[in-house]
């Protein structure tokens, strides 16, 4: 089922997500809904909190050419090591009509659980590393705009609040997939 993606400035996006304690069919269905929602948006990653469920689960697929081939569904993911630095032009399914350059770690090592109760550790770099860091920020109640200058963030916030005051809905985006 495709779920509604919360849009900034919805305060639920600032919630810190709770760890998942039970892996069950309900969680598997949530993950499947997240995958369908991410592909429909279109995006390369989605955190459960973005659809109003403050639990530590994310889905990612950075391969636009073969959707599903490298799909990741990660439960309670944590970054255990970081290396280097990269600047990436980021957008977000929850931040309408805005992108900005964000500085992140170029390589990360991630530890997480899969839905079939296996603990995994893997390394990621480039877009996958950026996407993982972006989604983990969501789990901690942060948006990529929290990582840009205060001035740029305030200008964006004013623009969105003006649209909302005018009664204009925050339209779903079109174009290439976003993180």
Domain limits of the chain? 11-165
Say how many residues make up the chain.
179
CATH 3.90.1150.10 fits 11-165, yes or no: no
Q: Which of 125, 135, 154, 171 is catalytic?
A: 135
Active site residue 90: no
CB 23 within 8 A of CB 113: yes
Summarised one tens digit per residue, pLDDT across range 122-155 is 999 999 999 999 999 999 999 999 999 999 999 9
State yes or no: pLDDT of 173 exceeds 60.
no
State yes or no: pLDDT of 36 exceeds 80.
yes
Q: Which residues does 141 contact at the CB level (< 8 Å), separation at least 6?
A: 13, 14, 15, 16, 17, 49
Summarised one tens digit per residue, pLDDT across range 54-90 is 999 999 999 988 989 999 999 999 999 999 999 999 9
């Amino acid at each position: 089922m495709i779920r509604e993606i919360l849009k900034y400035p919805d305060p639920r996006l600032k919630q810190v997500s709770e760890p998942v304690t039970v892996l069950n069919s309900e969680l598997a269905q949530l993950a499947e809904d997240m995958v369908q929602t991410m592909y429909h948006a279109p995006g390369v990653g989605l955190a459960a909190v973005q659809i109003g469920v403050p639990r530590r689960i994310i889905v990612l697929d950075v391969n636009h050419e073969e959707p599903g081939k490298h799909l990741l569904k990660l439960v309670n993911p944590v970054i255990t090591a970081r290396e280097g630095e990269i600047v990436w032009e980021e957008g977000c399914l929850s931040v309408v009509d805005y992108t900005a350059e964000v500085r992140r770690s170029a390589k990360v090592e991630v530890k997480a659980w899969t839905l079939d109760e296996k603990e995994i550790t893997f390394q990621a770099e480039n877009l996958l590393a950026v996407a993982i860091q972006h989604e983990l920020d969501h789990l901690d109640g942060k948006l990529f705009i929290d990582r840009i200058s205060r001035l740029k963030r305030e200008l964006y916030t004013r623009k969105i609040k003006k649209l909302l005051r005018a009664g204009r809905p925050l339209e779903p985006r079109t174009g290439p997939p976003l993180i």
